[in-house]
């Protein structure tokens, strides 16, 4: 994250008329070096007392929209093009609010203005007993191009928010080397803490009468602590990471798991595991205990896609893409290198069948061989179970 901006770096006034706002935006965008970001957001970053950024919360993200606000924030922090994360002090937030509030009385809902007010209030009220352990800082983050690699922790969190807020689908942005960017964090009932000296932190907080319950130690938080998408049911929030993409009509049961940069594109039943990078098309059922091999498995980069109206039986596994209307019987794990007997008696590796629709994979109980045959009927979800209206 780049140094804080106090407001002194811009040449604008604290309150504006609509004409003045338009003139400012025109001036910024007239600069030949200026490039609109493809995405940007204002949020709150949690910073440990050791200076490590632990997380960033963006209540609202912008993807190819609100270019005027992007120009205003770019002007504040001196951004011309590309990506980057910049801290903003309360003076800058107040000035930005004065410039954007020209739209507040038009009868429309303006999430950027509401976010500014929330962030400003949070920064002003950061005087809890946990202040000596961490601080909350306002940050504005820009992404020049979704194909660009992430730069820092707030950048990664913006991409994860875009996924979970359904602004982009899995594989819609570059997430290279994020494990090297994100720190290990202690996630607790009191929010995130720096894992490097957590035991010292725990002792100090207990001495102040503050009880801590550690939920996990990980680089990724629970999605629901940052984003709750509409039209979904999640029985166990611990099993869905920030960066998961859950389409309306998705039901994730208690043992279901959805990793980052993965998820569903329509109504689906998830009782098994959707690993990182896996995409499940509408009307498919990932049965209890079933596992879909992700891009992180064994260091591979093969993207596994499950077609629509597919069924992964209980405790089954899948390491290839499935076309529409496929089924893997309960207990059978189909890896890419598994040898599969075709209806004509020939034997092929399962990877040669990747993406082919209308197949039933099953294991011959007498010979133990994996066999495949074509099927005409497809899986149909129980519609009532996936009408997840909030």
Residue of 110, 111, 134, 138 lying closest to 124 (CA atoms): 138
Token pair for residue 324?
């529409």
Q: Mutual orientation of helices 67-77 and 18-30 as an angle, nearest 10°?
A: 70
Question: d(Cα 79, Cα 339) in Å, to the nearest integer?
Answer: 55
Annotated catalytic residue within 87, 95, 271, 371: 271
Q: What are phi and psi of 180, to 5 degrees?
A: -80, -20
Residue of 92, 104, 219, 242 lying closest to 160 (CA atoms): 242
Here the contacts of 117-121 (C-beta below 8 Å, separation 24 or greater) are: 118/59, 119/42, 119/43, 119/44, 119/93, 120/90, 120/93, 120/94
Question: d(Cα 278, Cα 273) in Å, to the nearest integer?
Answer: 10
Q: In what order do the strands lie in the sheet with 370-374?
A: 233-234, 250-252, 268-270, 284-286, 311-312, 327-328, 359-363, 370-374, 339-341, 347-349
Q: What letter does residue 158 receive in the DSSP assignment? A: H
Question: d(Cα 93, Cα 99) in Å, to the nearest integer?
Answer: 10
Question: d(Cα 132, Cα 141) in Å, to the nearest integer?
Answer: 25
Cα–Cα distances (Å) from 366 to 44, 315, 338, 342, 371, in that order, read: 60, 20, 18, 16, 12
Residue 20 annotated as catalytic: no
Question: d(Cα 191, Cα 60) in Å, to the nearest integer?
Answer: 20
Q: In what order do the strands lie in the sheet with 305-306?
A: 244-245, 262-264, 279-280, 305-306
Q: HSE (CB half, 13 Å, CA atoms) of 72?
A: 30
Distance of alpha carbon 58 from the chain centroid: 11
Asked if residues 50 and 196 have their Cβ atoms less than 8 Å apart, the reply is yes
Active site positions, annotated: 271
């Amino acid at each position: 994250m780049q140094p804080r901006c106090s407001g002194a770096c811009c040449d604008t006034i604290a309150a504006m008329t609509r004409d003045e706002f338009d003139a400012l935006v025109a001036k910024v965008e007239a600069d030949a070096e200026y490039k609109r970001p493809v995405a940007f957001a204002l949020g709150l970053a949690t910073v440990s007392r050791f200076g490590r950024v632990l997380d960033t919360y963006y209540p609202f993200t912008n993807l190819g929209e609100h270019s005027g606000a992007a120009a205003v924030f770019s002007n504040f922090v001196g951004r011309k093009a590309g990506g980057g994360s910049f801290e903003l002090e309360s003076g800058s937030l107040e000035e930005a609010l004065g410039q954007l509030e020209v739209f507040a009385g038009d009868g429309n809902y303006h999430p950027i203005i509401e976010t500014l007010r929330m962030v400003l209030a949070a920064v002003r009220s950061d005087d809890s007993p946990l202040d000596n352990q961490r601080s909350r800082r306002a940050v504005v983050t820009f992404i020049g191009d979704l194909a660009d690699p992430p730069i820092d922790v707030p950048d990664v969190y913006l991409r994860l928010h875009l996924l979970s807020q359904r602004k982009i689908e899995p594989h819609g942005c570059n997430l290279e080397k994020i494990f090297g960017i994100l720190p290990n964090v202690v996630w607790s009932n009191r929010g995130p803490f720096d894992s490097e000296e957590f035991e010292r932190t725990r002792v100090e907080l207990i001495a102040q009468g503050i009880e801590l319950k550690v939920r996990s130690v990980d680089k990724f938080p629970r999605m629901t602590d940052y984003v709750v998408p509409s039209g979904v049911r999640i029985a166990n929030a611990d099993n869905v990471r920030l960066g998961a993409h859950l389409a309306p009509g998705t039901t994730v049961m208690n043992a279901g798991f959805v990793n980052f940069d993965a998820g569903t594109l329509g109504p689906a039943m998830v009782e098994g595991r959707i690993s990182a990078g896996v995409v499940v098309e509408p009307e498919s059922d990932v049965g209890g205990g079933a596992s879909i091999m992700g891009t992180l498995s064994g260091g591979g980069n093969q993207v596994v896609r499950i077609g629509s109206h597919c069924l992964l039986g209980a405790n089954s596994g899948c390491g290839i893409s499935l076309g529409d209307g496929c089924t893997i019987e309960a207990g059978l794990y189909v890896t890419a290198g598994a040898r599969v007997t075709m209806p004509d008696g020939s034997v092929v590796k399962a990877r040669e069948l990747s993406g082919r629709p209308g197949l039933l994979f099953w294991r011959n109980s007498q010979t133990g061989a994996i066999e495949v045959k074509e099927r005409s009927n497809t899986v149909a979800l129980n519609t009532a179970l996936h009408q997840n209206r909030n």
